[in-house]
Chain A
Amino acid sequence: MIELIPEFLIRAILGGFFVALASSLVGVFLILRRMVLFGDGFSHIAFGGIALGLFLSAIFEFDPYSIAVLFSLLAAFSIVILKEKFQIKNDIALGVLFSFALSLGIILISLGGGFYSDIHSYLFGNILLLDWSDVILAAILALVLSVLIYLFGKQLVFASFDEVGAKIAGIPTSKLNLIFLCLSAILVVLSIRIVGVLLASSFIILPPATALLVAKNFNSMIFYSTVFALLAVAVGLVLSYYFDIAAGGAIVLFSIALFLFFSFLKKN
């Protein structure tokens, strides 16, 4: 049976599921920490990194995604430093950094000229083009995140609910914040491979946003968020395969349909 499925589709299913699992976990905390727009911010920062990578690849052999990861990690560190040392709020720091990265990206694209058409594949992504190294990276990230949530889930919930209370309880909120932002940054770049820069944030945020409508406690939010994310990837891939439409768009549209369905159910 497995032999009948093309290899690219197996990679897409596995990679999609692992990224969905990882993003559903990170997304829960982005929602709980009122950082819904961080996914968007990091995808813009990653875009700057991708543009730089493409620009430099004319001279050296560079993987644009590696530069995007590096850019996003630097941004994560900068956000924490700006908050700790200069008392600049997270969202303001992110706004400044993503404006910088986006402007840099636009300038580099205008200078590069030759790679203008390549940018399209990064803007829209393509889950069907995942290679085995992407699948393995996604699996590792999903595993690392699951372990981290198991070890630090309580502390993250406490810090999300009541940062002052968490500090008094001796929870290292700054360290946790940094770890969390770094993982979010890596995850956004991986999501870009699947749904592109434009939809990466929606891919991460929609399943936990839907889970929030039905969850009564933290554990159930993690459970529903994971189920909705996996379901969206599965249904999105099926729709893409049978109707020959972009998988990224199908995954996100199905997530929106789920969100609207549960919003309606909750209201009534």
Chain B
Amino acid sequence: MNKVLEFKNVEFSYGQKEVFNSVNFSIFEGEFVALVGHNGAGKSTLAKLSLGLLRPQKGSVFLFSYDPTKFSQWQKVGYVPQTKEFELDFPISVFELVLLGNLKSKKGFFKFYSKEDVERANNVLKMLNLEKFKDNKVGELSGGQRQKVFLAQALVSNPQFLILDEPTANLDFSSENLFYETLLKLNKNKITIFLISHDIGQVLNYASRILVLNKKIIFDKSTAELSKEQILSLVEKI
């Protein structure tokens, strides 16, 4: 199977504060991998390294076999951050926001939408049951609906790989479950998923493999192989 993301002996510090020493892991095509760790373990930093927004001080990161800082095929990657801070009265409709996701697949300085872009945006809204909110302002939606809109924006370019950084942090329990169910469906449709979370209880129900981060990857195992004792020990580690 092809590697979608690979960290090789990655070291990273913010000034004197060491975040990682020697992080090693790979994510393969079709997997649903969850990365868990306590608050401040560097989970979001790891997401930023994956996306080329930060460079490791030592070691290498590969995204579809390329250095992410030089990667150009961003239509293959969808990213849903923890929270997008924006003014709730920002005048952008759900449809406009989802359409923006198509800009990833456009080359050159000038970028115009095609008929196919509009069609894809409509299809993804339909798939995520967001059609009825199409003309609503994004700020008018509930937290759960908003996260689904950001997921729709990440999906509109037909990505092969989704990176989600604590996407359910501000959701209530039922919205959280619905969100994970949606991810599961996407994974069944061959989209590789990398879910970053602090909530080990929830991710164990959905992910096929679990990674635990504490300076380095201290645990890496398929969730199907986990015994009750291992789960309890994991909960204690986080």
Given A154-B103, A155-B103, A161-B97, also A172-B92 (CB < 8 A): no
B 76-119 binary contact with A (CB < 8 Å = 1; else 0): 01010100101101111100110111011010011101000000
Using CB atoms, name the residue of chain B closest to A221. B91
Given A154-B100, A171-B103, also A212-B91 (CB < 8 A): yes
Return A175 CB to nearest CB of chain B, in Å: 9
Q: Which residues of A contact B110 (CB under 8 A)?
A: 151
* Distance of A189 Cα from B206 Cα, bound (Å): 58
Q: Which residues of B contact A32 (CB under 8 A)?
A: 90-91
Which positions 11-36 of chain A face chain B at CB distance < 8 Å? 32, 34
Q: Which residues of A contact B97 (CB under 8 A)?
A: 161
Contact between B74 and A169, CB atoms less than 8 A apart = yes
Q: Which residues of A contact B92 (CB under 8 A)?
A: 157, 161, 217-218
Q: Which B positions have Cβ atoms within 8 angstroms of A?
A: 51, 53, 72, 74, 77, 79, 81, 84, 86-87, 89-93, 96-97, 99-101, 103-104, 106, 109-111, 113, 135-137, 153
Using CB atoms, name the residue of chain A closest to B107. A170
Contact between A217 and B79, CB atoms less than 8 A apart = no
* Distance of A32 Cα from B86 Cα, bound (Å): 9
Q: Give me 20 other A-B pairs in contact (C-beta within 8 A), A158-B103, A170-B72, A212-B91 excluded.
A: A32-B90, A32-B91, A34-B87, A151-B110, A154-B100, A157-B100, A161-B100, A162-B86, A164-B53, A164-B81, A168-B51, A168-B77, A168-B79, A170-B103, A212-B89, A216-B135, A216-B137, A217-B96, A218-B93, A220-B91
Contact between A161 and B86, CB atoms less than 8 A apart = yes
- 29 A-B pairs within 8 Å (CB atoms) are namely A34-B87, A154-B99, A154-B100, A154-B113, A157-B92, A157-B96, A158-B100, A162-B86, A164-B53, A165-B79, A168-B51, A168-B74, A168-B104, A169-B103, A169-B104, A170-B103, A171-B103, A211-B91, A212-B89, A212-B91, A215-B91, A216-B91, A216-B137, A217-B91, A217-B92, A217-B93, A217-B96, A217-B135, A218-B96
Q: Which residues of B contact A158 (CB under 8 A)?
A: 100, 103
Q: Which residues of A contact B86 (CB under 8 A)?
A: 161-162
Closest 5 CB pairs of A and B: A215-B91, A217-B93, A221-B91, A169-B104, A169-B103
Instruction: Kindly state whether residue A167 has any CB partner on chain B within 8 Å.
Output: yes
Using CB atoms, name the residue of chain B closest to A208. B91
Return A30 CB to nearest CB of chain B, in Å: 13
Q: Give which listed residue, B77, B109, B153, contacts A172 with CB less than 8 A.
A: B109
* Distance of A32 Cα from B106 Cα, bound (Å): 24
Return B141 CB to nearest CB of chain A, in Å: 13
* Distance of A170 Cα from B135 Cα, bound (Å): 26
Return A165 CB to nearest CB of chain B, in Å: 7
Q: Which residues of B contact A171 (CB under 8 A)?
A: 103
Q: Which residues of A contact B104 (CB under 8 A)?
A: 168-170
